[in-house]
Amino acid sequence: MNSSFCCTVQGANDFYGHALLSRFPVEVLASGLFSEHKGREPRGALLARVDLDGRHLYFLNTHFGLTDIERRAHIEELLSADWLGKTPTDEPLIICGDFNMMPGSRHYRRLTQRVHDVQALMKDRKPLKTFFAFLPFSRIDHIFVSDHFEVEDIRVPQNTLTRTASDHLPLIAELKLSPQPTAHRTPLVAQPSPAAGLRELPL
């Protein structure tokens, strides 16, 4: 697979940040830290363009801060010309990560003006929680998509391996890329539920 990595925290012997694995060619468009660093640790994002046999797909993963002030700054920066401004609105887009924000929060609503929460698009399924891994009670890890996708399945594996790997459970979405944008209704805002370790699947 092709791999891309954005380091946000470097320790003495380890690196912490965002990674993308894809069996398709990847071009990194932006990678680095957000300008707001008032929290306990730096936060950032990785934005890439994936070549799907001649068709482009834009993919961004991120990790927001723990405080409301941080998240407000991060969401506005993410929506700026430096990040999502690099993605054409008529091209497929996936955004995922640990946003440290609940469904229904103002920052969540701000982002869902541009993209859809995959769990909210599954009308017949109760949203799955990912945090805390040993007793998941919260939904702060999210996958958002543009109108170009249909959601076929959502899974949150719970086993010894996933509980050992992180304090968050992995969030897995199976998506179908449509030839043309799907006419979704106005983005649904899920009711708050009582989520980074960032989790992505290879494209």
pLDDT tens, position by position, 96-150:
999 999 999 999 999 999 999 999 999 889 999 999 999 999 999 999 999 999 9
Q: How far is CA 36 from the centre of its chain?
A: 19
- In the prediction, which pLDDT does 12 show? 87
CB atoms near residue 56 (< 10 Å): 14
Q: Give me the helices (H) in the chain, please.
A: 68-78, 106-111, 118-121, 160-165
The residues that bridge with 18 in the sheet, in sequence order, are 6
More confident residue, 12 or 93: 93
Q: Which residues of 146-173 are buried (b: 16+ CB within 10 A; e: fewer)?
A: bbbbebeebebeeeeebbeebebbbbeb
Q: Is there a contact between 45 and 111 (Cβ–Cβ < 8 Å)?
A: no
Looking up tokens 């541009």 gives 114
Identity (one letter) of the amino acid at 99? F
Q: How far is CA 57 from the centre of its chain?
A: 14
Lowest mean pLDDT among 115-119, 164-168, 186-190: 186-190
Residue 196 has pLDDT above 70, yes or no: no
What is the set of domains in the chain, with CATH numbers? 2-177 (3.60.10.10)
- In the prediction, which pLDDT does 35 show? 87
Average confidence (pLDDT) over 161-184: 90
Residue 192 has pLDDT above 80, yes or no: no
Q: Quick one: what percent of the chain has pLDDT higher than 90? A: 81
Looking up tokens 């363009």 gives 49
Identity (one letter) of the amino acid at 169? L
